[in-house]
Amino acid sequence: MTPLQRYIAEEIATDHLDGLLSRREALRRLALLGLSTAAATSLIAACSSTQQPTTETSATETATGSGPAASGPPPGSEGALPTEPVTWAGPAGELQGAWAEAPDAKGGVLVIHENKGLNDYIRSVAGRFAGIGYSALAIDLLSAQGGTAKFTDPADATAALSKIAPEESVANLKSGIDELQRRVPDRKLAAVGFCMGGGLVWRLLAVGTPQLAAAVPFYGPTPDNPDFSGSKDVAVLGFYGALDQRVNATEPVARAALEKAGLVHELVTEPDANHAFFNDTGDRYNAAAAADAWRRVQDWFATHLA
C-alpha cells in the first residue's frame, strides 16, 4: 500500500470510528482500495487504538458552528464568482479544471481538491477566491480517467485517486501552475489544497516550486523527510484542526522542514476543529474555524501576493 493509499484508508477508518460511516460502508470503501475484509478490520482496530476520545459535537448541533447546517453562508460565498470548465495540455494528456476569473486580478490561485475529486464544493472555493480578487484554477487530478464527473460514486473517485502515483499528480499540478501563470501573467501565484490536496501542496514544496509566492495547505499530511529548500521564496500558511490527531502528528515534521529551509511560515491550529473543518458540505464543518482561516488567508495573500 502506498503512503497515499494508507492515508486515505486511515481516513475512511477514522470516519467510521467518528460515526460518519457505517461499518458496512467503511468496509466497502476499503475494499475499493484493495483491502480484504481481514485487513480492513485490522486497520479499523489499529486506528481505534490510537484515537483519543474527543468532545466534538454532532454535526446536527449547530450551536458550536459545526456541521453543514451551521448558520450563515460559508466564508467568502457572498461575493463568489462563477466558474467555467476549462482544459489545457498537460504532461501526459489533456487536463481538466474549473476556472474563476477575477476582474483585474491581484494574483492567481491553484486550488487542489480533496480525495473526492473536483466537485461543487471545490468549484465554490475557486469562485470565492475570484470574488476577493484572485483568479483561481481548480484542477481535476482525475482528468486522465475522464474527470471526476465520470464517477457516479464518490467512493470510486477516491479509490481512483489513491492509485495515482504522487509523481504524476505533482507533474499535473506543475502544469496547472503554468496554465494559471498563462491566464494571469505578471501576477504572483499561490497553491491552496485541502486534505489530500493539502498533502500535495507540501509535495509541491518538497520537489521545489519556485513559481509560487505562497502556499496554503489545509490539514494535509507532510511527506516523509521533506526538504523545502527548493521552494525557499514561498510563504507558507498551514492549517490544522485541534481534533485531527492523525494529520496533526505530521505537523512537527512540517515545522522542522520549514525552519530548516528558512521559509516564511505560520502554522495555525484551529481550536475545537477537526479534519476538513473548512468543507461546508461535510459533517466536520466548523463555521468559526472556517471564518478565521478565511480571514487569515486573505491577510496572507495581501502580504505575499501583492
pLDDT digits 0-9 by tens, 33-71: 999 999 999 999 999 877 655 443 333 333 345 676 566
**119-130 residues labelled b (16+ CB within 10 A) or e (exposed):** bebbbbbbbbbb
Q: How many whole angstroms separate alpha carbon 127 and alpha carbon 202?
A: 23
**Inter-residue long-range contacts of 287-294, CB under 8 Å, 24+ positions, other chains counted:** 287/65, 287/66, 287/70, 287/71, 287/72, 287/74, 288/64, 288/65, 289/65, 289/241, 290/74, 290/75, 291/75, 293/75, 293/218, 293/239, 293/268, 294/75, 294/76, 294/128
**Inter-residue long-range contacts of 147-153, CB under 8 Å, 24+ positions, other chains counted:** 147/96, 147/118, 148/113, 148/116, 148/117, 148/118, 148/119, 151/117
pLDDT tens by residue, 85-96 = 999 999 999 999
pLDDT (0 to 100) of residue 306: 82
Residues 103-132: what's their mean pLDDT?
Answer: 98
Please, which residues bridge with residue 96 across strands? 87, 140
Q: How many whole angstroms separate alpha carbon 284 and alpha carbon 56?
A: 9
Q: How sure is the predictor about 72, in pLDDT bands with cuts at 50, 70 and 90? A: confident
Look up residue 144 and give its three cell numbers: 486522465
Residues 14-43: what's their mean pLDDT?
Answer: 96
Contact 243, 273 (CB under 8 A): yes
Rg, C-alpha atoms of the chain = 18
Burial class from Cβ neighbours inside 10 Å (0-12, 13-18, 19+) for residue 106 reads middle
Conformational region of residue 275, where left means phi above 0, alpha means psi within -120 to 50, and beta covers everything else: beta
pTM of the model: 0.94
Sign of CA dihedral 45, 49, 50, 56: positive
Residues 114-132: what's their mean pLDDT?
Answer: 98
pLDDT tens by residue, 229-262 = 999 899 999 999 999 999 999 999 999 999 999 9
In terms of DSSP H, where are the helices of the chain? 3-17, 23-32, 37-50, 120-131, 154-162, 166-183, 196-207, 245-248, 251-261, 287-304
Q: How many whole angstroms separate alpha carbon 101 and alpha carbon 137?
A: 9
**Order of strands across the sheet that contains 107-112:** 84-90, 93-100, 134-140, 107-112, 189-194, 212-218, 235-241, 265-270
CA distances from 241 to 17, 185, 237, 294 (A): 17, 35, 14, 14
Helices 23-32, 37-50: axis angle to 10 degrees equals 120
Look up residue 157 and give its three cell numbers: 473517485
Look up residue 90 and give its three cell numbers: 498537460
Is 50 exceeded by the pLDDT of residue 3?
Answer: yes
